[in-house]
């Protein structure tokens, strides 16, 4: 198949329109998972997909899928990301990957072409984890990291459960709608660090992702008189902690 160019102006306009949902006065965007803002963003994305004749379905975790048929009944090319944001997040984080996939389907529809494999867009629920901890909650259930009941029981700061939020927004679908097989997964993402900019490159391919681990360390000292205890006989927890902290950056160096 010959190369087909996307419409960059349409892509930019769709990102701008999506960024209006949850936009705050300081320019940030707040679309926490399964809030009214997230619901409105989901409905907008759904309308765009249905305009293209795509079949849109929702699974029991609120994950949205929009399918564009291929020439053969094979596992789809999965393209996507998420529409939820952190508090005062950016316009491109998450939404870019999803709307870029939408633009790819748009030009396929306009040119009357289909790929060998189906193309399926996916919007994962609560990827950011800003409302329900941990992040990547729904995709984590798909990957077998969490049980569905475990995800359903997660609550936000107001005590609202993930399950209730799914039901309140109308985005609790059927388990049979989950993606089960895919030929590959593609996610276009805005760079959140300085590497590409510093190297003056336009695009990069991710070969690894950050694995975040939170560790709580307790360092205990010995209380004693501040004036009469000699330095060599002191066991100061703060001094010990500062020595530990100062050595941590070296662990991350290549």
Give the count of beta carbons closer than 10 Å to the beta carbon of residue 94: 28
Q: Decide if pLDDT at 132 tops 70.
A: yes
Q: Decide if pLDDT at 193 tops 90.
A: no
Model pLDDT, residue 1: 64
Structure tokens at 38: 């997230």
* Domain residue limits at 249: 215-254
Domain assignment present for 121: yes
* 122 and 225 together in one domain: no
Q: At what angle do helices 36-51 and 95-111 cross, to 10 degrees?
A: 20
Which residues, 6 or more positions from 66, have their beta carbon under 8 angstroms from its beta carbon?
A: 45, 46, 49, 54, 55, 56, 102, 105, 120, 121, 122
Structure tokens at 80: 């996507």
* Structure confidence by residue, pLDDT tens digits, 202-235: 899 888 877 778 889 999 999 999 889 999 999 9
* 123 and 224 together in one domain: no
* 83 and 168 together in one domain: yes
Instruction: Give the pTM.
Output: 0.86
End-to-end CA distance of the chain: give it in Å, rounded.
Answer: 42
């Amino acid at each position: 198949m010959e190369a087909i160019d996307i419409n960059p102006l349409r892509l930019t306009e769709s990102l701008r329109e999506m960024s209006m949902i949850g936009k705050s006065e300081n320019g940030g965007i707040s679309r926490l998972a399964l809030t009214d803002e997230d619901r409105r963003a989901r409905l907008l994305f759904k309308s765009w997909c249905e305009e293209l004749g795509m079949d849109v379905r929702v699974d029991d975790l609120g994950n949205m899928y929009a399918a564009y048929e291929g020439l053969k009944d094979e596992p789809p090319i999965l393209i996507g990301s998420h529409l939820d944001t952190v508090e005062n997040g950016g316009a491109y984080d998450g939404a870019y990957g999803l709307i870029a996939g939408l633009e790819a389907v748009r030009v396929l529809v306009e040119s009357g072409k289909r790929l060998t494999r189906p193309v399926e867009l996916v919007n994962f629920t609560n990827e950011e984890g800003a409302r329900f901890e941990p992040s990547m909650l729904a995709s984590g259930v798909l990957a077998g990291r969490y049980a569905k009941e475990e995800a359903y029981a997660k609550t936000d700061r107001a005590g609202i459960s993930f399950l209730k939020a799914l039901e309140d927004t109308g985005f609790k679908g059927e388990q049979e709608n989950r993606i089960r097989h895919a030929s590959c997964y593609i996610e276009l993402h805005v760079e959140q660090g300085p590497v590409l900019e510093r190297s003056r490159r336009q695009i990069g391919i991710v070969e690894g992702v950050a694995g975040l681990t939170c560790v709580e360390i307790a360092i205990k000292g010995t209380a004693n008189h501040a004036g009469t205890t000699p330095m060599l006989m002191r066991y100061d927890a703060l001094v010990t902690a500062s020595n530990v902290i100062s050595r941590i950056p070296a662990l991350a160096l290549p």
